[in-house]
Chain A
Amino acid sequence: MSDIAPELTVIQKEKVVYEDRPVKQMLYPSLLFLLIGMAVGVFIAFNSFVFPDFFSGAHTHFGKMRPVHVGVITLLWLISVNMALFYFFVPRLSGVPIWSYKLATATNLLWWITLIIGNFSFPFGTNWGWEYAELPALVGFLPIKALLVIAWILFSINMIATVAKRRFKRLYVSLWYAMATLAWTAITFTLGNFTLGLVPGGISRVNMSFFYVHNLVGLVFTPMGLAIAYYYIPKIADAPIYSHRLSIIGFWSIALFYAWVGAHHMIHGPISQWLQTTSIIFSIWLFIPVWTVIYNFFGTLKNQWHQYASKASIRFLMMGTFYYLVTCVQGPLQALRNVNEITSKTDWIIAHSHIALYGCFTFFAFGGIYHTIEVMTKRPMWSERLSNWHFGMNFWGSLLMFVPLMIGGFWQGILWTNWADGYDFAEYRANMSQMPFLHTVAAMWFWWLLRAIAGVVILVGNALFLWNIYKSLSFKLLREMA
């Protein structure tokens, strides 16, 4: 059933020296931003929800801090670390070093400057107003969004040129995903950030915005994450991928289905019913690629599960796979009208988004980072014990975060349906007088407390991770970053 790709098992006769400085240029700052982003998250969890408005003021409230948390985590951590791992595995899967080291350095510098300025400007009132497109067009005289596009184009040129000059004929699925996401990201980002003004005001823009939002998840973060998992799971386990055919089926079904589901963010909302129904049908079809991924990753570890016990990196990759299954089962089900009525607009959605970006894609990145650092330093991590603690705290922290939010969010959605109980409007209103909106907010407090505690556990766990990495590197290697 499994066709073994020759490039993964052939013993290389000539030693290729890979240029890994771009990996470090992207990896090390991204880890710092992981901690910063999570710290902002913990701050919000306490200051906005558990002890609301304790630190009050024009710059610290939820509306100003949320985009900082989201922007730092999605852009300064997740996309950046994914780019770092791309700089690692794309050359290796191609059998050649990165096409241009100088271009990579320039790209990375532009990337960091642009994003740091853009994301930390939010508390000073620069939100662009559309979800996940909050980066301002201009900060002072700097055209932030345009510069970001340029950085991405430069990154794409480097990646494509590296693959074009490859030594291995066959393209492994990680390279399929890597190449495709370069195009998908460019188009998606353009549609969400530059073309909104071209359609009429109102729901036309909302529709385009949700098209953008969902493609960020499905055609940017998903391919990047899957490309990484498809490389590192077989690599670390030293076992061939279960099935190449299945991986390509997954690829094409993602390419076909993902772009049609944007409107599922507006189910029951002021948007055409046919568009909602279309998005629901395509959302259900997304079960197909999910299945290929889960079957493939679990199949790869068949007969290899002892490695789960011995390697923290495998644990992260397989737990990430499990969370991928969870979030991709939640997603299609959430699109169904009756499920959506309960879960939409509640904390269930927050659980869902964090299962995807943190439980799945961040865990994938952690797994990849362990291997990457061990290859770059040519020795194991400084402390196996810290690696185990890193996994343990993230695992239990993630459960403590997801489960309460799912319970609380679902319960709040159910509470809201109380206002629809009864036979006439007078009864509906009576229910509302007995249980006004604020009561449903109060019902969330306990779950928010658990989520905040989880945030602290996760933050500390990742601080241990950074410490382990710091001790694993030698200063000689740090100086070689530039």
Chain B
Amino acid sequence: MRLERSLPLTLIGILILFSLAIFITVIAPNYVDSSWTEPCCSYQTQMYEMADPNTLLSAETIGAPLQVVKRLQEGKMFFAYIESDKMKIVAPKELEPLVTRDKKIILTSKLCLLKPGKEEGMVELYAPEEKEVIATQEGDGDDEHWIAEDFEIVGPPPAWYKEGGVVYFKNPRLFEEKFKGFVSRKDLIAMGENIYKTEGCWYCHTDQCRTLVQDCVLCGTNAYPAPPSSANEYIYQETTFPGTRRIGPDLSRIGIKRPSRAWHMSHFWSPPSKSKGSIMPSFQQFFEGGDPQKPTCRFEAIYQYLMTKGTRITPPNEAWWKGLDKLHCMEILEGKKHEP
């Protein structure tokens, strides 16, 4: 067996060159670029880590609208008990400081619930015995409440809270119906990511708004351009699908561009019915018994996954889709301002 000196030298040479490339292009960036591992904003963190695992959805009752409830935990999240003209809150003396009766919102991590009062238009505030309850909150379905200023925290905040805006749960009431078939939004999003993966959505769609004017226009709304994608939008994903083809349009801001559940139901059932000329195949396997009005859990999963795109890069008070974004995309696109 001939083993010349050139063999180990070559092998070592190749390994050194390869390792250098790996180190500089694959390993080093994780330490050099903080945007690869840091969140966009605390809204994103709170949504993924606090709101999603504790928002539960169910479609058990056929024909009835989707039910959304929250799993509320004492001391782990913020609540607000806000009075309004139509609804007066009656609270026992020890819970009185927690009630918001004027403009400044009072937030607390103490879990209380509302129940119907003795008269019309009155509710009573009480502290439940359990530390964890299933409740419905006041608001639009599964949207979250967010506040960044003009608020006061009464009592100790949750351990994770440092400063800045918060997601809070408003006027929770105990959920007293049958608790069956609920799946957390976090699980639905994970399921949706898995569907996106195995159905191969990523072969036709990209999930990146590039730093190009045409992308910001394509991914934006009628009124405002979308900010280009940054690395910290993807940190909560198990698999990230930047995409290498745009046979179909980019999806990175689809949660803002196409938020309607009904639109997606029709679109998945038959894409050309909503997008004339679309070559996207139909996904009728997301529906039960051949009925486009009966979406399955898999539909809700892919829908919830799509709704995370573009909706969590800025908190609602700095919403890019309302032109409030810090990046001043509009001005950069119009050449009126140079990038920082």
Contact = CB atoms under 8 A, between A and B. Distances in A.
A138 interface: no
A165 B21 CA distance: 32
B61 interface: no
B217 A425 contact: yes
Contact of A255 (B13, B26, B197, B206): B13
Interface string A425-457: 100110110000111011000000000000000
A81 B243 CA distance: 29
B25 A417 contact: no
Given A62-B203, A127-B198, A260-B21, A437 B218 contact: yes
A62 B200 contact: yes
Interface string B205-237: 010101111110110001011001111111111
B204 A260 contact: no
Contacts of B150: none
A462 B279 CA distance: 29
B47 to A, nearest CB: 15
A266 B248 CA distance: 18
Contacts of B215: 268
B292 interface: no
B18 A259 contact: yes
A269 B229 contact: yes
B33 A259 contact: no
B70 to A, nearest CB: 26
A419 B240 CA distance: 27
Contact of B22 (A128, A169, A259, A270): A259
A431 B237 CA distance: 34
B204 to A, nearest CB: 7
Interface string A124-147: 011111110000000000000000
A270 B203 contact: no
Contact of A49 (B201, B279, B335): B279
Contacts of B232: 202
Nearest to B239: A129
Nearest to A55: B281
Interface string B104-131: 0000000000000000000000000000
A260 B18 CA distance: 9
Interface string A200-211: 111111111001
Contact of B197 (A129, A205, A423, A428): A129
A164 B282 contact: no
Nearest to B211: A268
Contacts of A58: 283, 285
Contact of A275 (B13, B29, B234, B235): B29
Contacts of A184: 14, 18
A442 B275 CA distance: 12
Interface in B10-29: 10-11, 13-15, 17-18, 21-22, 24-26, 29
A14 interface: no
Contact of B210 (A52, A200, A206, A268): A268
A418 B211 CA distance: 16
A166 B2 contact: yes
A24 interface: no
The secondary-structure label for the interface of chain B is loop
A372 interface: no
B240 A442 contact: no
A56 B241 contact: no
Contacts of A201: 234-238, 240
Interface stretch (A104-112, A227-235, A341-349): A341-349
Contacts of A207: 25-26, 29
Interface string A59-81: 00111101100000000000000
B289 to A, nearest CB: 15
A350 B247 CA distance: 11
A431 B217 CA distance: 10
A346 B246 contact: yes
A162 to B, nearest CB: 11
Nearest to B286: A58
A191 B206 CA distance: 23
A349 B243 CA distance: 12
Contact of A438 (B14, B200, B276): B276
Given A64-B200, A67-B200, A278-B24, A271 B217 contact: no
B26 A202 contact: no
A284 interface: no
A414 to B, nearest CB: 11
17 contacts: A63-B200, A63-B281, A127-B198, A131-B244, A164-B3, A180-B10, A199-B30, A200-B30, A200-B36, A206-B240, A211-B26, A255-B14, A262-B25, A262-B26, A428-B214, A439-B277, A442-B277
Interface of B: 1-3, 10-11, 13-15, 17-18, 21-22, 24-26, 29-30, 32-33, 35-37, 197-204, 206, 208, 210-215, 217-218, 222, 224-225, 228-249, 275-285, 330, 333-335
Interface of A: 48-49, 52-53, 56, 58, 61-64, 66-67, 125-131, 164-166, 169, 176, 180, 183-184, 187, 191, 199-208, 211, 255-256, 259-260, 262-263, 265-266, 268-272, 275, 278-279, 341, 345-346, 349-350, 416-420, 423-425, 428-429, 431-432, 437-439, 441-442
What 9 pairs across the A-B complex have the smallest Cβ distances? A63-B200, A259-B21, A202-B234, A420-B213, A61-B281, A52-B279, A129-B197, A203-B231, A268-B210
